[in-house]
Amino acid sequence: MPISPNFSSILQQDWEITFLQCYPNGFLKYTDLCNILQLTAGYHAELGGISFSDMQMHHQAWVLSRMRVEIKRLPKWKETVTVKTWVNSLENSRSIRCLEMYIGEEKIIGCETFWAVFNTQTRRPENLALPHEHFQKYLDRATLAPFSKIDFQHDMMKIENHKVQLSDLDIVNHVNSVKYLEWCLDLLDYDVIKNQKIESFEMNYLKELSLHDEVEISQKKNDAVVTFSIQKNEKANFAMQISLKK
């Protein structure tokens, strides 16, 4: 599609939190938080002519490689939030996109995402085939800390097996990025969720998973940090690190 006349290099989009998106305590689920952030990013890409549909003309898609989320507080049912997003960098096959969530003038969540251009036929990264110079790049960052390297090689304990189901897949025909988060959070102590003890979480997407793949989910935790890894045939597909409030 052509670039929309409504396109701007910085997008602000409002979302009302529905009861379907909330935990029993009435606060937004972390998975639905990530869905809202990614939907906003997707809408911005659509307005700018680099959406999934545009990229499929070249058998390309954006795939998430890393995501860092810092949380002051979660929004509640019926609250309206504003998500602001911009592109920090976009070069060759890689892009960093920043997102912030506000209630009124208060910033409650910061997020940075690292994306790669992926050929949906060869299943390999490649340079973006579409023009993107109309996206002004902003050096402003949305999180206090940068992406980090997650240590998931030491002292991990297997806690669950999972077989990929149809409901885990997305339009790119692999496990959707939010599903990895969902699998791990379902294994977290409920008290952490109920009392909003998560200060930040970071996710690394290392290798895609497909229908019927069988994986092991492992965990390492202490009072301050919980680390998860997901592996298939002893090779890492995903890692996540959760920092807890003191």
Reported as a single tens digit per residue, the pLDDT across 196-215 is 999 999 999 999 999 999 99
Angle at CA 101, nearest 5°, toward 106 and 190? Answer: 100
Three-state helix/strand/coil letters over 95-108: EEEEEEEEECCEEE
Q: Are 111 and 133 in contact (CB under 8 A)?
A: no
Which pLDDT tens digit goes with each residue over 166-181?
999 999 999 999 999 9
- The arithmetic mean of pLDDT across residues 69-74, rounded, is 98
Average pLDDT score over the chain = 96
- The arithmetic mean of pLDDT across residues 111-129, rounded, is 95
| pTM above threshold 0.75 | yes
CATH of 148-246, one of 1.10.730.10, 3.90.1640.10, 3.40.47.10, 3.10.129.10: 3.10.129.10
Is the confidence at residue 132, as pLDDT, over 70?
Answer: yes
- The arithmetic mean of pLDDT across residues 146-155, rounded, is 90
- Domain 1-147: CATH superfamily is Hotdog Thioesterase (3.10.129.10)
Considering only residues 154 and 47, tell me which one the structure prediction assigns the higher pLDDT. Answer: 47
